[in-house]
Amino acid sequence: MLLVGIMAFPALAQKPDQDPISIIEPILEVHCFPCHHDTKRSADISLKNIFMGINDTKALIVRDGKVWLNVVKQIESGQMPPKSHSQMSAEDSEALVQTVKSILYSSLSATNPGRVVMRRLSHSEYQYSVFSLVGVKYNAPEIFPADGSGGAGFDNFSGTLFLTPLKMERYYEAAEEIMDQAHADEILWRKLVPESYKKSFWSSFGDWFLDIFTTVDRSEGAVVAATKVIVPFASRAYRRFLEPAEKDKLLGLFRKVYEGMDTVNRYDLAVKETMKAVLVSANFLYRYEEELDVPIDYSYALSNFELASRLSYFLWSTLPDQELFDAAIQNKLQDSTFLQAQVKRMLKDPKAKHFAESFVTQWFGISRFRETNPLDPGRFPELTPSLRNAMYQEMVAYFNYVLNGSRNFLDLIDSDYTFLNEELARHYGIDGVEGEEIRKVQLTDRRRGGVLSMGSVLATTSMPLRTSPVLRGKWVLEEIMGTPPPPPPPDAGELPEASHKKNANLRQLLAAHRAKPTCANCHQKMDPIGFGLENYDPSGRWRESYGDAAIIAWDTLPSGESFRGPEELKKILRTKEDEFARNLSEKMFIYATGRGVGFVDELFIQRLVKNLKGNNFDPEKFIIELVQLEAFRYKVNDKGERFIVASN
Amino acid sequence: MSSSKWHISRRRMLKGLGASIALPFLQAMVPPGMSSYNMGKRPVRFACLYMPNGVNKDHWTPTGFGSNFELSKTLKPLANVKKDILVLTELMNKGSIFPGAEGHFAKTANIMTCRPILKTLGENINSGGISFDQLMAQQKGQDTLYDSLQYGTERVNSGICGATGFTRLYAASISWKSPTQPCTREIDTRMAFDRLFRRFLPDTKQRDQTWKQSVLDLVAEDAKDLQRKLGRADQDKLVEYLESIRSLEQRIDNEAKLKAFEEQVSPQMKKELASLNLRIDEFKEQFVGVDVTEKLRQMMDIMALAFQSDATRVITYMFGNAASGRNFSFIPGVQGSHHQISHHQNLPGALEEYRKINEYYVAQYAYFLEKLKSIPDGESNLLDNSMIMFISGLRDGNSHSSRNLPVIVGGKGGGALKTGQNLEFAKETPLANLYLSMARVMDMKVPQFADSTGELKGIYS
């Protein structure tokens, strides 16, 4: 139960056993819920939601910590309940304020790193790990049943990675397939198993002799040889040293298979079978961090191997390499200077592209863009698979360049370059790019440059037959600014699908929409941004008009800035540093840790935001700051009681 | 099916024992050459076919109630099986109505749990309860190779819905093994086919499985050792792994089940399998917007074969994920995506497009019912021995209303149901009452399901 903070809140100390929710719920029921209810949402705030159903209310108060801090502020300053409504008694007001505060403050501490539930490898992590380990390319994201995503929408989120019988079947089949491929490839196999163990004729003869007269172990030679192959393999796969019992089990399997066969290549086959077991072991498939035997109430550092894995899966989506592994053995990763050097090295490694691709395509919602065409192929035949692939690669290459080249995250919003091949350049109307290869292209104007003007994003945020200023505006608010508008009232409806010629009328239709008071609040924020992007057609091509009607791409943001066209809009958005920094910080924090970010993490997020703004949004400095956060390097004991609220 | 062969009926045996205790079905009671399910009494199969985005409510409900009813415009494709269906009106999933249940997800993930789901971006995912199909799999699934199968057509949506605060995983999960464990759906017809039937095709090279059991033993032991080093939440997570390993082991272990399954696949079925295999090879979904009828039918053919071969008795199939944006421009008179059209704003044009999409899905459902009806099963046909549900989580896609859900049950449940009726229940009758009734038909031990208040009246024969 919630014991921390009792000293600071003597009022609660008298009833330490009382559930804080039962204290505040009746007060809220009388004074707050009548207006801040789900269907009413005065000031767009509903307080009642989290008290319904099977929620862990305390955890949800913490999750919406900012809203609840505001509640406290409003009550303390006497602004709520409004004068026109019945007033709270002094005791009620005190109890409500103190209880909410104690829930919030007890969760907030820079020494609480939070807790990550063990995670199964995501399909792309599996793919890269198998490649690092075995050298076989296995297209797991295509073959395995897809996972969902959570947190900020990433597929490496611990809460949404499940294992089911069907997935287990696929893991087993994959292990068979992977080991078959490795075994069939002579060069690859010799990398894994440098030499086959074979008994000489005399040794075999000796075995026969010994067999009759003694009980000497005839497989001993093979087991000794196999140990040198299997132990390092499993150790890499499990990303740590093996325990003696684990070695014995694996070698036991090896022996069983070896002795169960009489073929010439039984040594290799038995090694292969044992490696298969490694590939389906929970020790390979899950990333977990061990628990201390004794419950303790303070956070403690991850082990060296655990930290090495966190780093390598964050920046490479795969196993630690030898250098990281060695560093872990030598206990160097806890040293800040050394850690920084490692991050720098890792970002320059080609494997950092795994991170770039995984992070940016999921962040901006285009991870399935190559496989799924968001537009109607009859109307937009030009959006071919190869063009979609080029658009996808544009974003990945762009982000990779931001990481290592320009080194400024603000370039994601606006810049004077992008990455094109001939086909994509032609689609964008840019001359002088030849060949299939994607390369950096310096732009003469600002029509392109930044993710808002990328074909992948523009098409993903369109309807099959027309553009949608609302969807595009919402996308910018949600993905760039990190301020998603609340869902529309259910009967708000969508505009009818129409030909592009009728797009001209959209503006009038939406203007009518914005006139409705229930819609105005959010559409004032979304629509202008969407209109600013109307010069891009659904497939991301530049257009000056809707056939015979002109495009009006000027508008004013609710914050007051006016713009004409996407070039100026991008420029304005690039100045929204606070929102962007917070959004980026939260996204990458979630991606790196694999858990959600809540009010409890506020102090971490503030450090990240400060780092971005203080260093001109430098990715390297930012990532170094991130991996040094307690949330990245520490953990709390799951057996301790103190962090339960926080870990939810 | 030779019925003249000697066998003791289970009932008679129980009578003979003079005992009222329920005995498990004993293999010894099965005469040579027969297996438990080609004897007189055939098992009842259950499937739930889920359609996203609701219906055009003006053209859904048939006119006239009881057995004297006229199919509505949207339900016309069911004409050939009109006597084999129950149209159920005024059922409501109360679990889908709670504060914060905006959008589609909260009315989808719980379509078979009938409880509120937890609003979350991914942490502590919770569907409120075990889903009805999984409860059935748990209680009735032991006799078949697979206790249940889950199919779909669209990949799990990636990302989260920032606006409503739900992970999109909920949009693609209607089967829940437990409140916190969604089942994995197979969406690829090739893989779904291979998993069950690849072994029956000529020239299939089987992998050597000699050591599979030893490998699984090792990893299961590994996982148990690992459990000791983990915290509580991690241990809970590892249970999924252990259960999955066990399920794999059971399938290698149980030769009797495998044999029974393989014996069911007649030469005639093998021919069908070979031709379905070819069709799957030939069909490739090139891009969104292409006619997907063949793809949906292939999956339903696999489902029918799975029932026929008794690979399983419980299947769920999602025609699309919640809020599916499938481009339906391949239907004459429809332009655009399903979800977009479902927000019709009461415009006549959009309403008709919406209705056409509904009718399209009903036609696919009708295809499945007719297919089952064409397959002999015991003394009748597969459809007679099934309960095939068709449901959407919304009544009206425009308002996201989830009262008076569109629900149809096809098949007589082995003779227990009086089909050929359009029934109207009292307003806001819990959908859970239907599940409770179906549990009764399946002879399951379920005194109550979610918010059920009793069995549905008028559906039994």
Taking only residues 52 to 91 of chain A, the set having a beta carbon closer than 8 angstroms to any beta carbon of chain B reads: 52-56
pLDDT for A491: 59
Mean pLDDT of chain A: 87
Percent of the residues in chain A that have a pLDDT greater than 70, as a whole number: 89
Taking only residues 469 to 528 of chain A, the set having a beta carbon closer than 8 angstroms to any beta carbon of chain B reads: 474, 478, 484-487, 490-494, 496-497
pLDDT exceeds cutoff 70 at A366:
yes
Q: Is B308 on the interface with A (CB under 8 A)?
A: no
Q: Do A490 and B115 touch (CB under 8 A)?
A: no
Q: Is A647 on the interface with B (CB under 8 A)?
A: yes
Neighbouring CB atoms inside 10 A of A223's CB total 18
DSSP character string of B56-123: -GGGTSPBS-BT--B--TTTGGGGGGGGGEEEEEEEE-GGG-STT--TTGGGTTTTTT-SPPP--SST
Query: Secondary structure of chain B: what % helix, strand, coil (to 5)?
Result: 40, 15, 45
Q: How far is A80 from chain B (nearest CA, A)?
A: 22
pLDDT for A216: 64
Q: Which of A225, A232, A228, A231 is nearest to A199 (CA)?
A: A225
Q: How far is A583 from chain B (nearest CA, A)?
A: 12
In angstroms, the Cα distances linking A238 to A394, A536, A635 are 35, 48, 20
pLDDT tens digits, one per residue of A610-634: 999 999 999 999 999 999 999 999 9
Which one has a higher pLDDT value, A51 or A5?
Answer: A51
Position A3 confidence tier, pLDDT thresholds 50, 70, 90? very low
pLDDT tens digits, one per residue of A172-215: 999 999 999 999 999 999 999 998 887 666 666 666 566 565 66
Taking only residues 280 to 319 of chain A, the set having a beta carbon closer than 8 angstroms to any beta carbon of chain B reads: 280-283, 285-286, 288, 290-291
Q: Do B177 and A164 touch (CB under 8 A)?
A: yes
DSSP state letter for A7: T
Q: Is B355 on the interface with A (CB under 8 A)?
A: no
- Residue A162 in 3-state DSSP? coil
* Residues of chain B with C-beta less than 8 angstroms from the C-beta of A474: 163
Q: Are B423 and B433 in contact (CB under 8 A)?
A: no
> What's the number of CA atoms in the CB half-sphere (13 Å) around residue A15?
10
pLDDT for B163: 76
Both tokens assigned to A509: 């239709």
pLDDT for B20: 39
Q: Which range has highest mean pLDDT (A43-47, A79-83, A598-602, B172-176)?
A: B172-176
Chain B interface mutation, best of A25, A118, A362, A475, highest count of B Cβ atoms under 10 Å: A118
AA identity, residue A443: L
B414-445 b/e (C-beta count within 10 Å ≥ 16 → b): bebbebbbbbebeeebbbbbbbbbbbbbbebe
pLDDT exceeds cutoff 60 at A35:
yes
Q: Please say whether the dihedral angle defined by the alpha carbons of residues B36, B38, B41 and B47, taken in this order, is positive or negative.
A: positive
Which one has a higher pLDDT value, B165 or A469?
Answer: A469
The pLDDT averaged over each successive group of 10 residues in chain B (461 residues) is 42 42 43 47 95 97 96 98 98 90 91 94 93 97 94 91 87 96 95 94 84 96 93 91 93 83 92 94 66 94 97 97 92 92 91 98 98 96 98 92 94 97 97 98 95 96 92
The pair phi, psi for residue B327, each rounded to 5°, is -80, 115
Taking only residues 333 to 362 of chain A, the set having a beta carbon closer than 8 angstroms to any beta carbon of chain B reads: 362
Q: Is A639 on the interface with B (CB under 8 A)?
A: yes
pLDDT tens digits, one per residue of A211-269: 565 666 778 899 999 999 999 999 999 999 999 999 999 999 999 999 999 889 999 99
Q: Is B252 on the interface with A (CB under 8 A)?
A: no
Question: Residue with structure tokens 């732009």?
Answer: A443
Residue among B222, B335, B350 whose CB faces A249 most closely: B222
DSSP state letter for A150: B
> What's the number of CA atoms in the CB half-sphere (13 Å) around residue A259?
12
Cis ω for the linkage preceding B99 (within 30 of 0): no
pLDDT for A21: 87
Q: Do B248 and A162 touch (CB under 8 A)?
A: no
* Residues of chain A with C-beta less than 8 angstroms from the C-beta of B196: none
Residue among A48, A160, A648 whose CB faces B169 most closely: A160
Neighbouring CB atoms inside 10 A of A298's CB total 12
Q: Is A146 on the interface with B (CB under 8 A)?
A: yes
pLDDT for A502: 54
Q: Give the distance, in angstroms, between the CA of residue B205 and the centroid of all CA atoms in the same chain.
A: 31
Residues forming beta bridges with residue B47, ordered by sequence position: B315, B388
Prediction ipTM score = 0.88
Q: Please say whether the dihedral angle defined by the alpha carbons of residues B225, B219, B186 and B60, taken in this order, is positive or negative.
A: negative
Both tokens assigned to B27: 């293999």
